[in-house]
Structure 1
Amino acid sequence: MAQVRSAARSLIWISGASAGIGAALAAAVPYPDARVIDLSRRGGGTAEHFKADLSDPAGWERVEKHFEAELTGYDGDRVVFIHNAGTITPIGPAHAVDSAAYTSAVLLNSVAPQVLGRAFLTATAGLRCERHLLMLSSGAAKTPYAGWSSYTAGKAAVEQWVRTVGAEQPADGCRVIAVAPGVVDTDMQSEIRSTDSESFPSVDRFHTLKQSGALATPESAAAGIWSVLARDLPNGSCVDLRHL
C-alpha cells in the first residue's frame, strides 16, 4: 500500500505565539503549506494552540510527548521550532525580588530552552527533511543589566547551549541558531519602561529608544528572524539582526 503523505509540508512550532514577536512570527510564516502550532499557556493567536506552561517541568514533559506524537512517521519537507517564550519579570535586584516569581523566570528563561530544545532534537533525529531549531536571544546575553539577572543569565545560557549543540550536529543534522532581534516594541518593552529606576537603573535608555522611534516593530523582527533560515550560517551561530 502506498504511504499517505501529510497535507502540511511544513510543520512549525513557535513558543509564545499568542502575542508580540511570537504572534508576528506565526502571521509571517514563509511557507504557504505550513501547519503552525503555538506552545503557550493562553493561546489566542492565529496558530493552532497546544496548551503548556513552559515555566513548569510538567509542561516540558507534555511538549516532549507532543513532539514525539506529531513527528513519528512525519514525511513532510521541513520541521521548525522557534523558541520565543521568555519573561523579563521580576525586574529588580536578585536579592530583593519575589522568590517564587524569580524561580519561575529562571525555569522559563534558562531551563526550558535547553529541555525543549533537546526534546525537539530527539524527536527529529530520525527525520531526513529540513530541520531548524531557532532560539530567541537578546543583546542582554552579552551585556549585564542591573535588575535583569534571570533574563540576562537565561539568554547567555541559550547562546552557549546553541553553540555547543550546534557543534554536536552531524553534517545532515538539525540547524541550531540563536537570533537576537534587537529592541522590539512589545508588551515586554512597555513593562520595562513602567519600572522605577531603583529596580532598573537603565530604564531611561529604554524611554529614549521609544521616544526616538528606535524600536523595531514585531513584524520587522519576525521578517528578519525568518530570513535567518535562508542564510548560510554555520551551525551553532548566535546572530543579532542589527548586525546582519
Structure 2
Amino acid sequence: MTSLVIVTGGSAGIGRALLAHAPEGASRIDVSRRGCDLPGVEHVPADLADPSGWATVADVLADRIRAAEVDRITIVLNAGVIEPIGPAGRVDADGYTRSVLLNGAAPQVLGHRLLAALVDHPAERRELVLISSGAARTAYPGWSAYGAAKAATDHWARTVAAEQDGADRPVRVLAVAPGVVATDMQVAIRATDAADFPNVDRFRDLHASGELADPDDVAARLWRRLDDPGAGPVTDLRDA
C-alpha cells in the first residue's frame, strides 16, 4: 500500500517519531518552523501559532494531497506547546494567545481545510488524526490554555467523526492522547515552579522513576492503533 504521511510539528518529539515510524516507503511531509532532520522528509516551513499563514499552509498541503497517487493518506496534527504555564490572568498575555491559537484553533482550522481535500481523494484509507492529551479530561491548575485546547480537540474529533459516519466514503477522524512522553514539553513542565503548576512534583516523580514513555514507542503504538478499526474517535494509547 502506497502512503502519504503529513505531520505538523514533525521536527522533534512525537511528531518526528511518527515520521520515522511511518509505513515503509511512505512520502512524508513535516510542517514546522525548524524542519525534520530525517532523510527524505519534505519540509513545509510554518509557524502555526500565526493564523496569517494557515491558509497558505493548507493550500500547499491540499495540493500535495490532490497530486498524491497513493492508497493511504494519514495527516497528524501534532504541533503544540505547553507554555505559558501558570494561572489564567497572570501569565504573559501574548504567550497565552499563541498557546490558544497553536493548540486549539490551528488544528480545527487546518483540519477543516484538509478534510475537504481528503474527502475528494480516491485513496482507500484516509485518516485525520489530532494529538490530544489527558489534560483534555483533567483540570490541571496552570494549564488552562493547554487543557481547554485539548478538550476542544477531542470534541472536534467526536463531532467531525459523527459527520463522516454519514458519508458515502467516510474519512476516519480521531483524537489520540499519547500519555506522558519524554519530550521537550516534559522538560519545560519539570522546570516549572510549583506556584505556577501545583502538580509539578507528579511529573518530576514520573521522570525520576523512568515512567515517561519513549517517543518511538509511542509512535509505533499510534500507528498500530490506526490499524484497529474498533478505536473510537477519542482514544488514549494507555488504554488496552
TM range (shorter): over 0.9
Whole-angstrom CA distance in 2 between matches of 1:194 and 1:101: 17
Paired AA for residue 143 in structure 2:
W
> Unaligned regions of 5+ residues in structure 2, if any?
none
Matches within 5 A, 1:64-213: 64-129=58-123, 130-169=125-164, 170-213=167-210
Whole-angstrom CA distance in 1 between matches of 2:35 and 2:210: 29
Paired AA for residue 48 in structure 2:
L
1:33 matched to 2:28? The reply is no
Whole-angstrom CA distance in 1 between matches of 2:229 and 2:75: 18
Aligned to 1:4: none
Whole-angstrom CA distance in 2 between matches of 1:111 and 1:167: 20
> Unaligned regions of 5+ residues in structure 1, if any?
1-7
Contact 2:119 2:169 in 1 (8 A): no
Give SS of 1:100's match: helix
Matches within 5 A, 1:4-19: 9-19=2-12
Contact 1:10 1:78 in 2 (8 A): yes
Whole-angstrom CA distance in 2 between matches of 1:191 and 1:109: 16
1:243 matched to 2:218? The reply is no
Deviation, structure 1 residue 171: 4.9
TM-score, normalization: structure 1? 0.93
Whole-angstrom CA distance in 1 between matches of 2:189 and 2:67: 44
Deviates more, 1:16-25 or 1:65-74: 65-74
Deviation, structure 1 residue 156: 0.1
Whole-angstrom CA distance in 2 between matches of 1:187 and 1:67: 26
**Corresponding residue pairs, total:** 235
Q: Deviations over 1:154-191 (max 9, x none)?
A: 10000000000000012521100111111001110010
Deviation, structure 1 residue 68: 2.4
Aligned to 1:5: none
Contact 1:138 1:180 in 2 (8 A): yes
Whole-angstrom CA distance in 1 between matches of 2:69 and 2:28: 16
Contact 1:56 1:107 in 2 (8 A): yes
Contact 1:140 1:155 in 2 (8 A): yes
Q: Which aligned runs of 4 or more in structure 1 are off by greater than 6 angstroms?
A: none
Contact 1:67 1:119 in 2 (8 A): no
Contact 1:24 1:219 in 2 (8 A): yes
Deviation, structure 1 residue 128: 2.1
Deviation, structure 1 residue 73: 4.4
Give SS of 2:5's match: strand
Deviation, structure 1 residue 38: 0.4
Deviation, structure 1 residue 92: 0.4
Contact 1:15 1:39 in 2 (8 A): yes
Deviation, structure 1 residue 72: 2.6
Provide the aligned C-alpha RMSD in A. 1.3
Whole-angstrom CA distance in 1 between matches of 2:92 and 2:197: 15
